[in-house]
Structure 1
């Protein structure tokens, strides 16, 4: 089984070395599929073996090593994707940007704009949501995330319709999602007007979810892990549908989690009217 995992990892690393930045999204899907293969055919039997032979330390050690390799592989993919993204931009330019085929771009060289005071844990974990603006649009959501904020109850259905909500079915399913600025898995906030915006399915999942999962994985590891987090919707003028979102995260006391990215609010094959959220397929 160890040899099987090594072969899979080697094949993924070859893909990383040969793939250009324009193939990053497809590469992400390939890597995720490879990881699922590893978990299904390598890790599952080992977990079963662990339950049958609880005293088998070698099995336990192999499971831990397998977990570490999977995490390192995902981190390597993230670094690769960031390194091959288009040129980094400043926050001041975000609202004026037009989508040109790259869903995610880095902002300020991928460095989040948090001061040392922003990173203090002296008050424990917290979350704050900006008031709606004069057009009832969401504003920035901030938090110092920790395992203590994560929900224990199952999420209830969303009922709020944010600005720009003109949903409809397209070939791939529903066009829009009610997107949490700070994901439910991180704080348990759900039907909160100040934490929901109209976003395409692509914006919500996989694009935002990829970064939310990275944060969630880190804070789950230890109750002493904290991440300063901010998500800012970016509107142009008086438009009701956001052009995109800026996501910033910084783990306290380390650079394990460290990013500042802008994700375009777009959907393949659909032309969006950002003034009101209506759309046209094709």
Structure 2
């Protein structure tokens, strides 16, 4: 009976793939490649090269290379929580950013008291490591990257928390993570029970973009009868090759065309945009500087004005 319920819940999760992602309202967004040397390299590193800021119960060596599915089951789908971690008291914890500014493990025991009671606010001010604003025609919504919550907003109400946001592809956000987030949210709302929930971003070496996220969950009051899973969701975007060291991306071969490849530098304080060669770029403070690749009309629509010096 327990296995049957899990299967039904997973089936419901797959049906939820058509819903919006944990950052569906964010217009500046991510995903990971299905081909290219960068992707292959992410799965040939040794276990010792995985950072201790992003600990995981599994080695990246245990994760199969991306083959077109948004996630893969780990450890027989059994989460790896210790008895000491199991409780029926609500809590949440987010790791400090590491020396490169990357997120670590996010863990919560989700109860109804942690869930949001108001709509999510803006999160565009947060720029996770490896962030780029870039568009491709073949990506849903066109923007490759989302600011992706490790623990979804619908679970703990965390909004612009930099310790809970990574650069994730649209594919990771909507196809990989959202079905499981929805499954947990629905269960907690319907039963009033708690779900012990942990998401671990997996980085290779000093890469700024995660290979993917390990997700574990276990319902507490019924000892996993309602919710129990352990998966790895790939930070990929089919048709796009991603350099995980920097966040740069290119079309895979025979993948069509990119939407206007012109690059601009934005000043998020003055709301001006410039050509990369503009002399004004060097005077922009790092915290106010962002890059964008795509049509200038989209920047103007977002409220930015072209620089009067370089006339982009």
Fold-level match, TM-score > 0.5? yes
For residue 213 of structure 2, give the secondary structure of its aligned residue in structure 1. Answer: strand
Q: How is 1:64-103 mapped onto 2 (pairs within 5 angstroms)? A: 74=12, 91-93=58-60, 98-103=65-70
1:234 is aligned to 2:199: no
- What is the CA distance between 1:95 and its match in structure 2? 8.1
Q: 1:95, 1:235 within 8 Å by CA — same for their partners in 2?
A: no
Give the 3 Å change call, closer, same or farther, for CA 243–95 of structure 1 in structure 2.
farther
Aligned length: 199
Give the 3 Å change call, closer, same or farther, for CA 72–260 of structure 1 in structure 2.
closer
TM-score w.r.t. the length of structure 1 is 0.66
Q: How is 1:244-259 mapped onto 2 (pairs within 5 angstroms)? A: 244-254=212-222, 255-259=225-229
1:184 is aligned to 2:153: yes
State the match for 1:147 in structure 2. Answer: 112
Q: 2:13, 2:179 within 8 Å by CA — same for their partners in 1?
A: no
Q: 2:63, 2:232 within 8 Å by CA — same for their partners in 1?
A: no
- What is the CA distance between 1:108 and its match in structure 2? 1.0
Deviations 1:208-250 (A, max 9, x none): 0000000000000133x00000000000011000000000000
Q: 1:96, 1:236 within 8 Å by CA — same for their partners in 2?
A: no
Q: How is 1:98-137 mapped onto 2 (pairs within 5 angstroms)? A: 98-121=65-88, 124-137=89-102
Give the 3 Å change call, closer, same or farther, for CA 194–76 of structure 1 in structure 2.
closer
Deviations 1:83-134 (A, max 9, x none): xxxxxxx71235875323232111111110112221112xx21100001111
Q: Which has the higher contact order (CA 8 A, sep 6+)?
A: 2
Give the 3 Å change call, closer, same or farther, for CA 94–213 of structure 1 in structure 2.
farther
Q: How far apart, CA to CA, are the structure 2 residues paired with 1:264 and 1:131?
A: 23
Q: 1:167, 1:174 within 8 Å by CA — same for their partners in 2?
A: yes
State the match for 2:42 in structure 1. Answer: none
Q: Which structure: greater helix fraction? A: 1
Q: How far apart, CA to CA, are the structure 2 residues paired with 1:201 and 1:75?
A: 17
1:271 is aligned to 2:271: no
Q: How far apart, CA to CA, are the structure 2 residues paired with 1:207 and 1:76?
A: 10
CA-atom RMSD, angstroms? 2.2
- What is the CA distance between 1:206 and its match in structure 2? 2.5
For residue 170 of structure 1, give the secondary structure of its aligned residue in structure 2. Answer: coil
What are structure 1's unaligned runs of at least 5 residues?
Answer: 1-69, 79-89
What are structure 2's unaligned runs of at least 5 residues?
Answer: 1-7, 17-56, 253-312
Deviations 1:54-76 (A, max 9, x none): xxxxxxxxxxxxxxxx9796279
Q: How far apart, CA to CA, are the structure 2 residues paired with 1:213 and 1:207?
A: 11
Give the 3 Å change call, closer, same or farther, for CA 116–149 of structure 1 in structure 2.
same
Give the 3 Å change call, closer, same or farther, for CA 176–218 of structure 1 in structure 2.
same
Give the 3 Å change call, closer, same or farther, for CA 263–71 of structure 1 in structure 2.
closer
